[in-house]
A and B are shown apart, each in its own frame.
Chain A
């Protein structure tokens, strides 16, 4: 039953990550294509452009949601692959614990920057 919930969560987070990452990549990469569509975008990698987004709650929300869903989807997918090695039940428990700890560390690391930059503005 636990694996069923994980598989359903994998599908739901996959769809959410696809949408959020498509927004992120479109803004970061598609200068020319957006320009052809009449949408002018400043270089998003400059400090000014990056700080402008960092001070908008909607972008902070998108980044944190992308981080949380992305970490779950990626690390659960990685676990699914590793489970194909035919591990023992104990090894699966240890692996799962390690992956959860790894995910929590990167979630804290990743949410620190957007929250710190957003807080510094207010």
Chain B
């Protein structure tokens, strides 16, 4: 009797490095996960710092902020806001497409096959353009204020 169970994920995490036929969208998804993990790590660090040092009073808080005000942390801060811009806008695109919008009408499976997402790649490109605009705006803001 044929196995009716779900397909096993044979590649596991190694499947991340190969986009296959999905190409651009698959690599955007990979970057979505990498930025998500980075934001999780930063979030835990940020939460710990703001909780522990904030409740200890003005002197400790001010010395902590002075310590963090250096080029290394400023570059890190820029990477965080850039990662957030990417993760948020690409996530919005993923939600919209997962709910069935911006996918295009179904077409008969005639060779060469194109999937629904790639028929509406313009949406992906618009999302990428918006992310670039935000990243540049943040870069200008950081540059005007100084990098540490």
Contacts and interface: CB of A to CB of B under 8 A. Distances in A.
B54 A50 contact: yes
Nearest to A30: B141
8 contacts: A25-B81, A29-B138, A32-B140, A33-B137, A50-B54, A74-B36, A109-B51, A117-B54
Contacts of A113: 50-51, 54-55
B147 interface: no
B144 A32 contact: yes
Contacts of A32: 140-141, 144-145
A81 B55 contact: no
Interface string B81-114: 1001000100110010010000000000000000
A50 B140 contact: no
A22 interface: yes
B47 A106 contact: yes
A74 B44 CA distance: 10
Interface of B: 8-9, 12-13, 15, 33, 36-37, 39-40, 43-44, 47-48, 50-51, 54-55, 58, 61-62, 65, 77, 81, 84, 88, 91-92, 95, 98, 137-138, 140-142, 144-145
Contacts of B142: 29
Contacts of B92: 15, 18
A81 B61 CA distance: 36
A113 B54 CA distance: 7
A70 B41 CA distance: 12
Contacts of B91: 14, 18
Interface residues of A, number: 33
B50 A14 contact: no
Contacts of A45: 65
A15 B95 contact: yes
A33 B136 CA distance: 11
Given A29-B138, A30-B141, A50-B54, A67 B33 contact: no
Chain B CB count within 10 A is highest, among A22, A32, A112, for A32
A64 B95 CA distance: 24
